[in-house]
Chain A
Amino acid sequence: MVADLRHDDFLQAEPAGPLESSQNQPSAVLTVEKLALSLAGKEILQQVDFSLSAIGVTSVIGPSGAGKSSLLRCLNGLESGWTGGVKIDGNDIRQWPGGWDQLRRHVGLIAQKPLVFNTSIRANVCFGLHGWRQRRRADGLVKASLQQAALWDEVADRLDAAATTLSVGQQQRLCIARAIAIKPKILLLDEPTASLDPLSKQLIEQSMLQLAQQIPLICVTHDLEQAQRLKGQVIFMCDGRVIEQAASDQFFRQPQQIETREFLRWSVCDCD
């Protein structure tokens, strides 16, 4: 199912087996093996395999309903009914020390629909910090996170205003800042620039590339050009399966699978 890939430091080709893959690829911080998910009697994900190396962006593309969001939700434990293996730094996430909450602090997820809490902008950014004292003394962190999310300039003078008064695009960036503030070791972004103007989009992409020098990022996107700009790896999903994964330039220049070619050319996917 998975395309024959160039072996490089981002992604391994054809995960061979549960044991081998984690041994052969010590640099992989996240390995997903035979991940399958059914919701309400419907197969959402089938046999998803891939792995992430220590840094860099991995873009996930695919038609609407392919299961991209569901995949991200499995990786940080929001969906729990899946089967298969997900390992982070060699630890099975089902046995994560400290449980799901600790896992979610390790694996940040920025959801597809931006949702801000009904408090001030500042409180939203600090929401994930433990302890009210830390939350009150977080001015530096608030500024840094908002800057990284390309929102600082717009809200610097009204940090105490209600977050719900922000526009949707601003809320989306606020959600990014909120997730960055708890300093996750892996960041999952679900269409982070979907409702943004070109400029903010560009700023967010810059931040993502910056972050990607320290931690691995998975970014779901419908914007193929964005996937190209983000470099790194591309995973193409359709109907709950990974059809092809490759380094970005190779993926767009020489797609191996016929479904991928169809998708890139006509934006349709027929992979049943």
Chain B
Amino acid sequence: MILRWWLSTSALLSSLTIVLVFGFLLQSSWPLIQQQGITFIIGDEWYPFESLYGMLPALVGTVWAVALALLIALPCGVAAAILCAELLPAQLRGAMRFSMELMAGVPSVVYGLLGMWVLLPLLESQLDLLTGRTLLAAGLLLALMILPTIMVLSEDAIRAVSQSQREAAKNLGIGWDAMLWRVLLPQAWPGIRVATLLATGRAMGETVAVMLVVGSIDRIPDPFYNFLQPAQTLTSRIGREMAEASIGSLHWAALLFCGLLLAIIAIGLSLLIQRKVVAA
């Protein structure tokens, strides 16, 4: 009885929180929507002093940074997971996993500082850039930060493929590499997919580290695929400008709208995750 009461109260409270968060975000960004309609979402100019609140540059920046991070971290993470789960002896595997778990635990501001002091100079000197603060820097840093998530969860998924599945494949004379493509990865795919979606969520919401390396220029890269230019993400904009905006102003409302956008995308992602988990 008590247990049931406790469970239902907690469930109710947590779902209430979600509603509250959305309500708050919508309510505080309402003045902006009221004044400018909804078209500012696809506006490409962000000049708070002229009341231009185009969301597109930061949206593009966010998508780019996350995509770059995934592009780098997914192959690396899955490869590391395969190595760990299938090839390494138990001790090495333990060491590698432990280091990955440590990596996941390092606060993101530390990654940001590391990026500033190591990654940026490196990019500047290697790629001959005016500034290392680019989308590429943000992508690389984010990749490093989501690598542990992808690797650890994918490894679990690969190891969860049952011994009898492997033996059934072996019995048909299927070699290890064919087994990898035809048994292990397909079986582990739901888990890898969830890992990827979780990592995407983390990369999208990451603020401090990205803010330190992305350059914070509100401009759509030109051409749009040029990731060697400074840019802005939704989170880095909020992190950078929130302190300057006076509460209740349009600027403030626009920043909260950035938050709303992020929350919507995040909810979309978790709906995706849930669908996949149920399907798996």
Contacts and interface: CB of A to CB of B under 8 A. Distances in A.
Interface string A45-74: 000000000000000000000000000000
Nearest to B183: A117
A102 B175 CA distance: 9
Contact of A117 (B168, B175, B178): B168
Given A117-B183, A118-B187, A109 B171 contact: yes
A113 B173 contact: no
Interface string B113-147: 00000000000000000000000000000000000
A78 B178 CA distance: 17
A178 B171 CA distance: 10
Contacts of B164: 111, 113, 115
Given A113-B164, A115-B164, A117-B165, A104 B183 contact: no
A252 interface: no
Contacts of B167: 78, 111, 115
A240 B178 CA distance: 34
Contacts of A117: 165, 168-169, 183
A182 interface: yes
Tell me the dominant secondary structure on chain B's binding face: helix
B165 A182 contact: no
A182 B170 contact: no
A110 B164 CA distance: 12
Contacts of B187: 118
A104 B165 contact: no
Given A117-B183, A118-B187, A128 B165 contact: no
Contacts of A175: 168
Interface residues of A, number: 24
Contacts, number: 50
B165 A102 contact: no
A127 B171 CA distance: 11
Contacts of B170: 78, 100-101, 104
Contacts of B169: 117, 127
A127 B175 CA distance: 12
Given A111-B167, A115-B168, A128 B174 contact: yes
Given A117-B183, A118-B187, A105 B168 contact: no
A248 interface: no
Given A117-B183, A118-B187, A105 B165 contact: no
Interface residues of B, number: 16
Given A117-B183, A118-B187, A102 B173 contact: yes
A76 interface: yes
Contacts of A127: 169, 172, 174, 182
B165 A179 contact: no
Interface in A82-128: 100-106, 108-111, 113, 115, 117-118, 127-128
B173 A182 contact: yes
Contacts of A115: 164-165, 167-168
A100 B167 CA distance: 13
A72 to B, nearest CB: 10
A111 B174 CA distance: 15
B175 A101 contact: yes
A78 B172 contact: no
Interface in A138-193: 175, 178-179, 182
Nearest to B167: A78
Given A115-B165, A117-B165, A179 B172 contact: yes
B192 to A, nearest CB: 15
Contacts of B174: 101, 127-128
Nearest to B165: A115
Contact of B173 (A104, A110, A111, A118): A104
Interface in A195-229: none
A111 B167 CA distance: 9
Given A111-B167, A117-B165, A118-B187, A178 B173 contact: no
Given A117-B183, A118-B187, A104 B171 contact: yes
* In the complex, the 9 A-B pairs of residues with the closest C-beta atoms, listed nearest first: A128-B172, A105-B173, A104-B173, A115-B168, A101-B175, A109-B171, A101-B173, A115-B164, A127-B172
8 contacts: A100-B170, A101-B173, A101-B174, A104-B170, A104-B172, A111-B171, A115-B165, A117-B165
Given A76-B171, A104-B173, A128-B173, 17 more contacts: A78-B171, A101-B174, A101-B175, A103-B173, A104-B171, A104-B172, A105-B172, A106-B173, A111-B168, A111-B171, A113-B164, A115-B167, A117-B169, A117-B183, A127-B182, A175-B168, A179-B171
